[in-house]
């Protein structure tokens, strides 16, 4: 198959898009064109995909990025078998594009990969004025209903099914788990992996690092929202923590092994209540005990598998104390690390699902080939 993967929001090195889905498609021998904001993120396309640079959609004005995406879809869509979209914003580029494809009788299978609960996430978007959030939530739900009628959907979480009338395949955010037991957890280094924002607990993370210093060093890996970037830069400058900034997923994961604990300090937000933090699964996969706030799916993993500790929301003192407990009890942290890795290997391993993802797209293309839509003849 020929597949066009498009994002104007996500980092081109996004773990789900590049390191899981595109990798799975390439393993099946498919050709991938990857359109993403490479220049805006100052990264080059990987040599094994054909990269197409798009503007980045950020903040309130996303028109330039959407115009570029619409032009790309009009030009390249009819040349591929599948168009795989990763942003809800891209739905706005589709109405006229879909009509044009169908008019020409060359419409690819078009798939929206639903990464998050966009309507719930609006409350955390500081660039969206508060009075606009309720009507925008209604507009997002209406767009989702239209997308369900005209596109194929993939969901990142089982819990997203309730937003739609029909069941859709779930492609969960799992980790690629090392087949051999990882390095045992140490006693002087804590890690955080993921995007950094207020709602993701960045300010609590900084305070936790301050409470743990100098005995335990905190390493932070990820890009940051503008409103926390200054605090992170200051903390890094003062030696409170080490902020590596954004690193490609393969390089970032190399920093996990041997850590005393991995932190996930999400706030109690609607978008997090039914999403499984990928960082928690990645900590488990690399034998790192988890310290997490009680978002339901993260707490369920920790409690079900015994792979860490749960701490209250927005409570750096409790997070620091949980790290100290693990540091003081080598048997506890070794047990948590081993249980997490075993659970990830058996139940949360992307390697077990990658083929299912690729075969889902293959099946949709076969179905479309067997039942081609007739070209629309202009009158």
User: pLDDT digit of tens for each residue in the chain (379 aa)?
Assistant: 999 999 999 999 999 999 999 999 999 999 999 999 999 999 999 999 999 999 998 877 788 999 999 999 999 999 999 999 999 889 888 888 988 898 888 889 999 999 876 655 555 566 555 665 666 666 666 678 788 988 999 999 998 898 898 999 999 999 999 999 999 999 999 999 999 999 999 999 999 999 999 999 999 999 999 999 999 999 999 999 999 999 988 899 999 999 999 999 999 998 888 889 999 999 999 999 999 999 999 999 999 999 999 999 999 999 999 999 999 999 999 999 999 999 999 999 999 999 999 999 999 999 998 877 655 444 3
> Does 2-172+353-370 match 189-350 in CATH topology?
yes
CB 321 within 8 A of CB 295: no
Identify the CATH assignment for 2-172+353-370 out of 3.40.50.2000, 3.90.320.10, 3.30.420.40, 3.40.1080.10.
3.40.50.2000
The pairing of strands 2-6 and 31-36 is parallel
Structure tokens belonging to residue 21: 């889905």
Using alpha carbons only, what angle is made at residue 246 by residues 244 and 247, rounded to the nearest 5 degrees?
85
3-class secondary-structure state, position 245: strand
Question: Which helix H or strand E contains 258, and what residues bound it?
Answer: none
CB 70 within 8 A of CB 93: yes
Residue 172: CB atoms within 10 A of its CB come to: 17
Question: Which helix H or strand E contains 7, and what residues bound it?
Answer: none
The CATH architecture of the domain made up of 189-350 is 3-Layer(aba) Sandwich (3.40)
- Rounded Cα–Cα distance for residues 24 and 30 (Å): 9
Q: Where are the domains positioned within the chain?
A: 2-172+353-370, 189-350
- What pLDDT does residue 377 have? 42
- What pLDDT does residue 197 have? 94
- What pLDDT does residue 147 have? 85
């Amino acid at each position: 198959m020929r597949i066009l993967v498009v994002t104007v929001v996500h980092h081109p090195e996004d773990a789900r898009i590049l390191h899981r889905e595109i990798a799975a498609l390439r393993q099946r021998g498919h050709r991938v064109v990857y359109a993403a904001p490479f220049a805006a993120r100052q990264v080059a396309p990987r040599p094994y995909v054909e990269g197409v640079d798009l503007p980045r959609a950020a903040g309130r004005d996303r028109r330039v990025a959407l115009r570029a995406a619409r032009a790309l879809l009009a030009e390249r869509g009819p040349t591929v078998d599948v168009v795989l979209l990763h942003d809800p914003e891209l739905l706005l580029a589709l109405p006229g594009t879909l009509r044009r494809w169908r008019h020409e009788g060359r419409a690819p299978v078009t798939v929206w990969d639903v990464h998050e609960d966009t309507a719930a996430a609006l409350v955390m978007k500081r660039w969206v004025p508060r009075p606009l959030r309720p009507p925008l939530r209604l507009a997002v739900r209406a767009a989702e209903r239209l997308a369900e009628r005209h596109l194929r959907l993939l969901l990142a979480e089982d819990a997203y099914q309730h937003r739609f009338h029909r069941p859709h395949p779930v492609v969960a955010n799992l980790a690629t788990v090392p087949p051999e037991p990882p390095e045992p957890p140490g006693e002087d280094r804590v890690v955080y992996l993921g995007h950094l924002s207020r709602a993701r607990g960045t300010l609590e993370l900084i305070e936790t690092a301050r409470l743990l210093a100098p005995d335990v060093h905190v390493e932070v890996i990820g890009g940051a929202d503008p409103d926390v970037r200054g605090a992170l830069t200051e903390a890094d400058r003062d030696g409170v923590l080490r902020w590596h900034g954004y690193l490609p997923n393969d390089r970032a994961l190399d920093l996990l092994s041997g850590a005393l604990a991995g932190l996930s300090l999400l706030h109690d937000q609607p978008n997090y209540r039914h999403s499984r933090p990928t960082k928690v699964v990645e900590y488990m996969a690399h034998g790192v005990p988890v310290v997490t706030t009680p978002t339901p799916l993260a707490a369920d993993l920790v409690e079900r598998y015994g792979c860490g500790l749960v701490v209250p929301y927005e409570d750096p003192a409790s997070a620091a104390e949980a790290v100290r407990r693990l540091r003081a009890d080598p048997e506890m942290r070794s047990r948590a690390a081993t249980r997490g890795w075993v659970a990830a290997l058996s139940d949360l391993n992307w390697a077990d699902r990658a083929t299912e993802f690729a075969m889902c797209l293959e099946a949709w293309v076969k179905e479309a080939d067997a039942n081609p839509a007739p070209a629309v003849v202009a009158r």
